[in-house]
Chains A and B, each alone.
Chain A
Amino acid sequence: MAVAQSSSQPVAEQWQIAATGAQDVTVLLVLAVAIGVGVVWTYRSLDPQLRKSIRLGITALRALALGVCLCLLMQPSLRFRTILNTPAHLAILVDVSGSMNSGGTESRLNAARVLLERAKTQLRDLEKRFNVSWFRFAETPTEVRDARESTEPPAEKHLSSNLCGSLEQVLERFTDEELAGVVLLSDGADTERPLTPIKAEDVAFARAHGVPVNTVLLSSTEHRKDLAIAEVKVDPIAFSRSEAPIRVDVKSIGIPDREVEVILWQDGSVVQRRVVQIIGGAGQANFAVAPSRLGPHVMTVTVPVPPEDKLPENNRAYLSFKVVRDKIRVLHLVGHPSWDQRMLRDTLTAWPLVDLVSFYILRTAYQSSTYGSSGLALIPFPRPQTIFEKHLDEFDIVVFQDFKPVTVWHERHMQRVVDFVERGGAVVVIGGTHGLRAGGPASSILQRILPLRLLPRKTPKRRQNDLASFRLNLTPVGFRHPITRLKTDIEENKRLWRSLARLDGANRVLGLAQGALSLAEHPHAQVEDGALPIIAVKETGKGRALAITTDALWRWRFSGPLGGGPLDTYADFWHRAVSWLTRDPELDTLRVQITPSPVPKDQPARIEFELLNEAYLPVPGVQLNCTVSWLGKDGVKAYDNFSIRLNDQGRYSLKWRPKVDGPHRLTVTGENGVSAATRFLVQTKNKELSRLDANEPLLKAIAEASTGHHQQNELKLDELQTRVTATQKVLSRVDIPIWDRPWAIGVFILLLALEWVLRRRVGLL
């Protein structure tokens, strides 16, 4: 505890009296209170008949003795220190990003150099008071030796601006040191933050450090004449068949306001055009595209290049987004209400991705004709032509659940379903009382697309079904197929399937159709070519078909333990089935993945290939021929071809270096006939080119938040705001104890002795 201190010099010796003993404030307070109580008790215990001066004298001697005792407990020492007074740091940051660097000798960076040159004398004075650290920054800050180095143009001309991030990094670098202030010379452009009005939270970091940031705006624009696409905004995920809005901000500097045509391109073709009126140097074009193809999309936006435009590079911009399915439209045709129908309905209606249209047969024809329609609550049931000729293509999946279409609808409607599947639609046929029994779809043209060969019409009834309950077995294909691979780990998947409820019976069939795959089969019942398939799939034309030979899958809905485990196994199964049926790109058998997205130009991208067969087993050793094309506004130009051969796991990975920026397409064809195409974007970090105008509000906000000073195109160092000028560093310290000297004990004894003498003289002893 310091009790005295001498004055200081830049490097100075100081002394002070310091306590080296009991320093606990609580203990000292308790002792002080005890002394006070003791002193009061001493005074009150004296005979009131005594003269007051005597009583006060005795009390004072007791108080002094106790005080000396307390001092001894604190063990006072004489402390000698050698102090070094260190000047605080002052950080000076110079922005060397692309927006500062363009314009040659008239660049803002050159203006910064001129300002620092003019302030050379003041800077020298500043260096006497502060420890000045110099930084230059674009994407990140770099410490340099002096002012000259800080304003040297960087080798890369169009570095992006990470103003706030760089400033924050510099402030954090001085966390353990005394930073008196910051001087920031910049045009305020920060390409890492969006083009939105500045909010308090954007500059909260500057306030949090408590260091004044003095900002100097460099905003000369005389040399610039530029029309640029400042920003393109599009959601990274778009939904198929839904409009995806695209907003394009156009800015101009030094060019008179005019009408500008903004064009949106894809694969070398114009998608949309907009005419934008530039007012006050800014304009906005809004596009809306409704892509139907799933997967990545890349597009180009252009504005014309006026003759006076000094920077034609920023008149073009690229955008990329991924299209996912918005809604999967399912037509659910049900032969009669059942628990299987109810649980499937529950699952599909609870899935926001599915748009379900159901038609249930609630009465047989006989019932309709016998009982009439009196009192019934009926909904319109459309004509078959309406469903199959007008609206079928609106759906992604048609589900026939325990439904015998052949006896209800004409063959030509079933032919529409076959065409629908061969064009890329999907069909699900679920068995039961009517669905897959002999004489059902077997007699229909629908049989052509089903994964199963159904029993002929005249099959005896006793042979049409297997009524024994069973627990189905996954086939080797079923363990890997996305529909039945409910758990990634194969052993875990096996355990899950073994834990599912037993099923009550199955429709017998002749066997699998050609090209079909059985995913799950009956444990005992046999057909011509093996076990009775329970879940089977088939690719038909561009579409897919799924058949289930039982109507008891609904039992899985109730088979899990409450609140956990395979509670949603039933829903999971159907979600997977729907994803496979609708060709979710995630489940493609030839998978091509390009990372990162977008691919930075001049940096290698990683391209990974994986090939699976229809059974989702790896296909090793296949040669894949790849073509990379550039999809510019001038058309599609192939510019790189290479071949790879897949390894034993059916995979291959390579690094590929792009040569040009813009939209690209990678087309892959295998020697076994498989093919895939994906699009990706190669992008130069040219955001800087689109943000050439100064952003004074950001610099002002930083200065205000940090209690710094803001200046425009001038550097007055005498107006800088700083918080401290120096810090002290203790070079050496010596403590000389003064409490353990004999005289200190002597004073204590002397005071007690004097009190004793005084008490004796007044007759108290």
Chain B
Amino acid sequence: MPLIGDAKTRGTVIVRAGRRNFAKTIGLVAGAAALPSLGWGLGTASQINLAQIVYPGGNWQPRPTALRRLAWEIHKRTAIDTVLEPRSIKPTLHALSSNPLVFLAGDRPFPAWSSSSTNAMRRFLKLGGTLIIDPAEVSGVNATGFEESVDQLLEAVVPKVRLEPIAADHVLYRSFYQINRPLGRVEGPPHLWAHEMTGRLSIIRTRHDLGGAWARDNLGSWEYEVSPGGQRQREYAFRLGINLVFYGLCQDYKDELSHRRFGDPMVKD
């Protein structure tokens, strides 16, 4: 474990934890880890809400428990202070402005959005918002119809723009976890798609049913089987979800070359 003087700790930099102070240190770090949940924040603006978009028609929430579970995993594994009960928002100017990272899910076609909603989404993306589109793969339901509706929606929001595959070396795949290929409830294609706006990915589209892999009921059971990789694949789906949120927050932080000049690393983060 890397050491730094006799500093107390809560953060990436780790405490000098000699044997004698082991118990004390464990107590400290355990307490520190619990800090975000003690309500010391400045209200919801300090927390990250994984908002899901509510839209008329179709099925806007095919995996109702998915984002809650992802929020919990982020809270558990990272320093991000998440809202554990993610909110659902309508695509209005006001609601989008409060939630710079939004998820759009569905498993069937939906009607075209109103012009005020598409305008709000366009402005949201232009000012720095990120939209993640995650279709649910449900047998017996017209999932292709959802994809077509999404295409029509994107044409209205960002006309004549075509989503391109995200290159395997993109920082999105390294924003927290190292990810070799995207995996969700289904194996899906080997890449994600995105639209880049002023150097950042503003729209990210999956075809892996990430929500299906994340969904877990109140009794603690996974709601959907993950295939073909089983629980290991489910873990990778969570890792991708965490990376998506980290990318929305940290952007190209992991690409900063200037870190190298500091050399002599103590820990990695």
**Interface positions of A (Cβ within 8 A of B):** 335-343, 345-346, 349-350, 355-371, 373, 375-384, 386-387, 391, 402, 404, 406-410, 412, 431-434, 437, 461, 464-465, 467, 469, 501, 503-507, 550-552, 554-555, 557-559, 562, 567
Shortest CB–CB separation between residue A273 and chain B, in angstroms? 34
Q: Per-position contact with A for B198-242: 1 when CB-CB < 8 Å, else 0?
A: 100000000000000000000000000000000000000001000
Identity of the chain A residue whose Cβ is nearest the Cβ of B122 in the assembled complex: A562
Q: Which of B9, B80, B100, B253 contacts A358 (CB 8 A)?
A: B253
Instruction: Report the separation of the CA atoms of residues A541 and B30 in the bound assembly, to the nearest whole angstrom.
Output: 39
Which of B50-58, B138-146, B259-267 contacts the other chain?
A: B259-267
What are 29 A-B contacts defined by CB distance under 8 Å? A337-B79, A338-B249, A342-B128, A342-B250, A345-B251, A360-B250, A361-B269, A362-B246, A363-B78, A364-B10, A364-B33, A365-B9, A369-B14, A371-B77, A377-B175, A380-B259, A381-B265, A381-B267, A382-B259, A384-B5, A386-B264, A406-B8, A408-B11, A410-B4, A431-B42, A434-B40, A551-B45, A559-B97, A567-B127
* B38 within 8 Å of A (CB atoms): yes
Instruction: Report the separation of the CA atoms of residues A530 and B32 in the bound assembly, to the nearest whole angstrom.
Output: 33
Given A358-B256, A361-B11, A407-B7, decide whether A552 and B177 contact each other with a Cβ distance below 8 A: no
* B44 within 8 Å of A (CB atoms): yes
Given A338-B46, A357-B256, decide whether A376 and B12 contact each other with a Cβ distance below 8 A: no
Would you call A375 and B239 a contact (CB within 8 A)?
A: yes
Contact residues in B for A356 (Cβ distance below 8 Å): 256, 258
Given A357-B258, A383-B266, decide whether A432 and B42 contact each other with a Cβ distance below 8 A: yes
Q: Which residues of B from 61 to 108 have beta carbons under 8 Å from A?
A: 76-81, 96-98, 100
Instruction: Report the separation of the CA atoms of residues A375 and B174 in the bound assembly, to the nearest whole angstrom.
Output: 10
Would you call A404 and B10 a contact (CB within 8 A)?
A: yes
Shortest CB–CB separation between residue B92 and chain A, in angstroms? 12
Shortest CB–CB separation between residue A381 and chain B, in angstroms? 5
* B20 within 8 Å of A (CB atoms): no
Would you call A377 and B178 a contact (CB within 8 A)?
A: yes
Would you call A382 and B263 a contact (CB within 8 A)?
A: yes
Given A336-B81, A381-B12, decide whether A373 and B239 contact each other with a Cβ distance below 8 A: no
Shortest CB–CB separation between residue A697 and chain B, in angstroms? 50
Instruction: Report the separation of the CA atoms of residues A431 and B41 in the bound assembly, to the nearest whole angstrom.
Output: 10
Query: Which of B76, B122, B253 counts the most A-chain CB atoms under 10 A from its CB?
Result: B253
Q: Which of B45, B97, B264 contacts A382 (CB 8 A)?
A: B264
Identity of the chain B residue whose Cβ is nearest the Cβ of A462 in the assembled complex: B39
Shortest CB–CB separation between residue A569 and chain B, in angstroms? 12
How many chain B residues have a CB neighbour from A under 8 Å?
77
Q: Which residues of B from 1 to 38 have beta carbons under 8 Å from A?
A: 1, 4-15, 29-30, 32-33, 35-36, 38
Contact residues in B for A355 (Cβ distance below 8 Å): 258
Q: Per-position contact with A for B121-156: 1 when CB-CB < 8 Å, else 0?
A: 011101111000000000000000000000000000
Would you call B128 and A557 a contact (CB within 8 A)?
A: yes
Q: A360-B250, A551-B42 are in contact. List 12 more A-B contacts (CB 8 A).
A: A335-B11, A349-B252, A359-B259, A362-B12, A365-B9, A375-B177, A382-B262, A382-B265, A408-B11, A409-B13, A410-B6, A410-B7
Given A338-B48, A342-B248, A365-B33, decide whether A391 and B262 contact each other with a Cβ distance below 8 A: yes
Contact residues in A for B129 (Cβ distance below 8 Å): 558
Would you call A381 and B13 a contact (CB within 8 A)?
A: yes
Would you call B254 and A383 a contact (CB within 8 A)?
A: no
* B110 within 8 Å of A (CB atoms): no
Identity of the chain B residue whose Cβ is nearest the Cβ of A338 in the assembled complex: B46
Would you call B178 and A461 a contact (CB within 8 A)?
A: no
Q: Which of B97, B178, B262 contacts A387 (CB 8 A)?
A: B262
Contact residues in B for A363 (Cβ distance below 8 Å): 12, 77-79, 269
Instruction: Report the separation of the CA atoms of residues A557 and B99 in the bound assembly, to the nearest whole angstrom.
Output: 12
Instruction: Report the separation of the CA atoms of residues A370 and B36 in the bound assembly, to the nearest whole angstrom.
Output: 17
How many inter-chain contacts with C-beta < 8 Å in the A-B complex? 251
Shortest CB–CB separation between residue A436 and chain B, in angstroms? 10
Identity of the chain A residue whose Cβ is nearest the Cβ of B36 in the assembled complex: A433
Contact residues in B for A357 (Cβ distance below 8 Å): 256, 258-259, 262
* B117 within 8 Å of A (CB atoms): no
Instruction: Report the separation of the CA atoms of residues A409 and B261 in the bound assembly, to the nearest whole angstrom.
Output: 21
Contact residues in B for A410 (Cβ distance below 8 Å): 4-7
Instruction: Report the separation of the CA atoms of residues A503 and B45 in the bound assembly, to the nearest whole angstrom.
Output: 8
**Interface positions of B (Cβ within 8 A of A):** 1, 4-15, 29-30, 32-33, 35-36, 38-46, 48, 76-81, 96-98, 100, 119, 122-124, 126-129, 173-179, 198, 239, 246, 248-254, 256, 258-269
Instruction: Report the separation of the CA atoms of residues A567 and B41 in the bound assembly, to the nearest whole angstrom.
Output: 27
Given A387-B262, A407-B9, decide whether A378 and B269 contact each other with a Cβ distance below 8 A: yes
Would you call A339 and B45 a contact (CB within 8 A)?
A: yes
Instruction: Report the separation of the CA atoms of residues A526 and B15 in the bound assembly, to the nearest whole angstrom.
Output: 37
Contact residues in B for A503 (Cβ distance below 8 Å): 45
Shortest CB–CB separation between residue B64 and chain A, in angstroms? 25
Instruction: Report the separation of the CA atoms of residues A38 and B108 in the bound assembly, to the nearest whole angstrom.
Output: 85
Contact residues in B for A408 (Cβ distance below 8 Å): 7, 9-11, 13
Contact residues in B for A402 (Cβ distance below 8 Å): 46
Contact residues in B for A364 (Cβ distance below 8 Å): 10-12, 29, 32-33, 35, 79
Q: Which of B13, B44, B254 contacts A377 (CB 8 A)?
A: B254
Instruction: Report the separation of the CA atoms of residues A180 and B97 in the bound assembly, to the nearest whole angstrom.
Output: 74
Given A381-B13, A507-B42, decide whether A386 and B259 contact each other with a Cβ distance below 8 A: no
Contact residues in A for B246 (Cβ distance below 8 Å): 337, 362
Contact residues in A for B7 (Cβ distance below 8 Å): 407-410
Would you call B46 and A505 a contact (CB within 8 A)?
A: yes
Shortest CB–CB separation between residue A612 and chain B, in angstroms? 34
Contact residues in A for B124 (Cβ distance below 8 Å): 558
Instruction: Report the separation of the CA atoms of residues A506 and B46 in the bound assembly, to the nearest whole angstrom.
Output: 10
Shortest CB–CB separation between residue B207 and chain A, in angstroms? 23
Instruction: Report the separation of the CA atoms of residues A406 and B197 in the bound assembly, to the nearest whole angstrom.
Output: 39
Identity of the chain B residue whose Cβ is nearest the Cβ of A505 in the assembled complex: B42
Contact residues in A for B123 (Cβ distance below 8 Å): 562
Contact residues in A for B263 (Cβ distance below 8 Å): 380, 382, 386
Contact residues in A for B177 (Cβ distance below 8 Å): 375-377
Q: Which of A337, A369, A370, A407 contacts B80 (CB 8 A)?
A: A337
Contact residues in A for B40 (Cβ distance below 8 Å): 433-434, 437, 461, 464-465
Would you call B174 and A377 a contact (CB within 8 A)?
A: yes
Would you call B259 and A362 a contact (CB within 8 A)?
A: no
Shortest CB–CB separation between residue B167 and chain A, in angstroms? 15
Shortest CB–CB separation between residue B247 and chain A, in angstroms? 10
Instruction: Report the separation of the CA atoms of residues A373 and B268 in the bound assembly, to the nearest whole angstrom.
Output: 9
Would you call B10 and A407 a contact (CB within 8 A)?
A: yes
Would you call A360 and B264 a contact (CB within 8 A)?
A: no
Contact residues in B for A550 (Cβ distance below 8 Å): 42
Would you call A342 and B249 a contact (CB within 8 A)?
A: yes
Shortest CB–CB separation between residue B197 and chain A, in angstroms? 12
Would you call A381 and B266 a contact (CB within 8 A)?
A: yes
Contact residues in B for A383 (Cβ distance below 8 Å): 4, 264-266
Instruction: Report the separation of the CA atoms of residues A409 and B251 in the bound assembly, to the nearest whole angstrom.
Output: 26
Identity of the chain B residue whose Cβ is nearest the Cβ of A567 in the assembled complex: B127
Contact residues in B for A552 (Cβ distance below 8 Å): 42, 45-46
Identity of the chain B residue whose Cβ is nearest the Cβ of A467 in the assembled complex: B43
Given A362-B79, A381-B268, A562-B119, decide whether A342 and B251 contact each other with a Cβ distance below 8 A: yes
Shortest CB–CB separation between residue A351 and chain B, in angstroms? 13
Instruction: Report the separation of the CA atoms of residues A386 and B259 in the bound assembly, to the nearest whole angstrom.
Output: 12
Instruction: Report the separation of the CA atoms of residues A380 and B237 in the bound assembly, to the nearest whole angstrom.
Output: 26
Instruction: Report the separation of the CA atoms of residues A632 and B262 in the bound assembly, to the nearest whole angstrom.
Output: 43
Q: Which of A359, A361, A412, A433 contacts B46 (CB 8 A)?
A: A433
Would you call B42 and A555 a contact (CB within 8 A)?
A: no
Shortest CB–CB separation between residue B268 and chain A, in angstroms? 3
Instruction: Report the separation of the CA atoms of residues A383 and B100 in the bound assembly, to the nearest whole angstrom.
Output: 33
Identity of the chain B residue whose Cβ is nearest the Cβ of A504 in the assembled complex: B45
Contact residues in A for B258 (Cβ distance below 8 Å): 355-357
Contact residues in B for A376 (Cβ distance below 8 Å): 176-178, 268
Shortest CB–CB separation between residue A256 and chain B, in angstroms? 52
Given A357-B258, A555-B97, decide whether A465 and B42 contact each other with a Cβ distance below 8 A: yes
Identity of the chain B residue whose Cβ is nearest the Cβ of A410 in the assembled complex: B5
